[in-house]
DNA sequence: TTACTTGACGATGGGAACGT
DNA sequence: ACGTTCCCATCGTCAAGTAA
């Protein structure tokens, strides 16, 4: 039910037939809110209907509210991304590995199977294509990898790969440390998946600056759980960006909050609530297998 | 059986856009 | 500058579903 009126009376609810009428009107008007006259007509008609006559007065404002909410809900539904979150026109980067872990997609994989030189994807045993991302030394942000150009090995240091970032040209290529600054792209956090995000988690967050907006590593300081509705997640997450230690309260996942793979797998192995474990286990099943 | 979660939906407040 | 209207995000509550 909706929020009860300030008068303290019972919560108001439109009947199915009223909704059907307004629904039809909305379609006829091409999803536009009807004129004030039409709203008043609806209100009068509903007020005088046999179900309400003498009991409940329907206000034009309530009819207007219904149209606004319905338009907003429909819009939200159509805009909702079917898969990964993408924030155009910037290339999407991804979430991070666990707090102190080396990216697990690299850690235990023999060098001969590392995804370079080749495209920024690799095929695992189960025919799952893997995509990678890399951290740029220029701005500290994470970008999708389009191609691994080449690689070089050192006797005393970690190997490096030359990376072509997705959406950028050769002039933006960089050598990056494989162990520290290359990892598998993570799954974006869908609205229903926010339960998997807990305080202290390392995540990826969209950060808007004056001239640009990029994805940076951040830690969750606090997670305020709120009930969801048809329009999605209403939780808020207080995060601290690792690169500048700034803090921000973000709604999730609309603003780019994404779940770290390793964090998920830790939970899948027994930590967190059952729901979180279920979710993370599903992530494991749905197309990704890793070596711990 | 009880507590908790999720989905649904009307109500509300802030801010942008617009007209005067 | 001010008032009005509109759009959007968020709030608050109920009912049904689910887990413990």
CA of A228 to C1' of B5 (A): 10
pLDDT tens-digit readout, A173-221: 999 988 888 876 655 555 555 555 666 667 776 665 545 556 777 777 7
Which protein residue lies nearest to nucleotide C12, measured between its Cα and the C1' atom?
A3
pLDDT tens-digit readout, A95-150: 332 322 222 222 222 232 333 334 555 543 344 455 678 888 888 888 878 888 88
CA of A222 to C1' of B17 (A): 36
pLDDT tens-digit readout, A233-290: 556 667 777 787 777 666 544 334 444 333 333 333 333 333 333 333 333 322 222 2
Q: Which nucleotide is nearest to A277 (CA to C1')?
A: C19
Q: Strand C closer than 7 Å to the CB of A282? A: no
Position A174 scores a pLDDT of 92
Query: DSSP letters along A136-154, please?
Result: -TTTS-EEEEEEEEEEE--
Bridge-based pairing of strands A213-224 and A202-208 is: antiparallel
Residue A71 structure tokens: 């338009």
Residue A11 contacts by C-beta under 8 Å, 6 or more apart in sequence? A1, A2, A3, A4, A5
Residue A6 confidence (pLDDT) above 70: no
Position A51 scores a pLDDT of 74
Position A175 scores a pLDDT of 92
Q: Strand C closer than 7 Å to the CB of A55? A: no
- CA–CA separation, A111 vs A189, rounded Å? 30
Q: Which nucleotide is nearest to A229 (CA to C1')?
A: B7
CA of A249 to C1' of B1 (A): 39
CA of A271 to C1' of C3 (A): 56
Mean pLDDT of chain A: 60
Chain B: bases < 7 Å from a protein Cβ: 5-12
pLDDT tens-digit readout, A48-67: 887 777 777 777 778 888 88
pLDDT tens-digit readout, A24-40: 777 777 677 777 777 77
CA of A208 to C1' of B14 (A): 21
Q: Strand C closer than 7 Å to the CB of A6? A: no
Q: In whole angstroms, what separates CA A120 from the centre of its chain?
A: 22
Position A130 scores a pLDDT of 56
- CA–CA separation, A197 vs A222, rounded Å? 10
Query: pTM for the whole thing?
Result: 0.47
**All domains of chain A in start order, with CATH:** 16-69 (no CATH), 132-184 (2.40.50.40), 187-283 (2.30.30.140)
């Amino acid at each position: 039910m909706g929020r009860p009126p300030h008068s303290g009376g019972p919560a108001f609810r439109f009947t199915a037939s009223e909704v059907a009428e307004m629904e039809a009107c909305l379609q006829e008007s091409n999803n536009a809110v009807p004129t004030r006259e039409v709203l008043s007509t609806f209100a009068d008609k509903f007020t005088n209907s046999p179900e309400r006559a003498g009991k409940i007065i329907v206000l034009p404002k309530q009819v207007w509210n219904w149209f606004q909410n319905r338009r907003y809900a429909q819009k939200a539904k159509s805009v909702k991304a079917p898969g990964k979150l993408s924030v155009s026109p910037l290339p999407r980067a991804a979430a991070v590995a666990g707090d102190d872990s080396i990216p697990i997609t690299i850690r235990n994989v023999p060098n001969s199977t590392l995804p370079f030189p080749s495209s920024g994807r690799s095929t695992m045993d189960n025919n799952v294509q893997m995509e990678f991302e890399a951290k740029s030394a220029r701005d500290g942000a994470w970008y999708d990898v389009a191609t691994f150009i080449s690689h070089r090995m050192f006797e005393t240091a970690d190997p490096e790969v030359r990376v072509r970032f997705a959406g950028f040209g050769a002039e933006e290529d960089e050598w990056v440390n494989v162990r520290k600054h290359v990892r598998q792209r993570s799954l974006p956090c869908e609205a229903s998946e926010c339960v998997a995000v807990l305080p202290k988690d390392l995540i990826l967050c969209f950060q808007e600056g004056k001239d640009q907006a990029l994805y940076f590593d951040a830690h969750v300081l606090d997670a305020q759980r709120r009930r969801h509705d048809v329009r999605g997640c209403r939780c808020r997450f207080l995060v601290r960006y690792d690169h500048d230690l700034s803090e921000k309260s973000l709604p999730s996942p609309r603003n780019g909050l994404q779940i770290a793979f390793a964090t998920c797998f830790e939970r899948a192995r027994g930590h967190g609530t059952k729901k979180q474990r279920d979710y993370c286990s599903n992530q494991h099943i749905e197309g990704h297998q890793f070596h711990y």
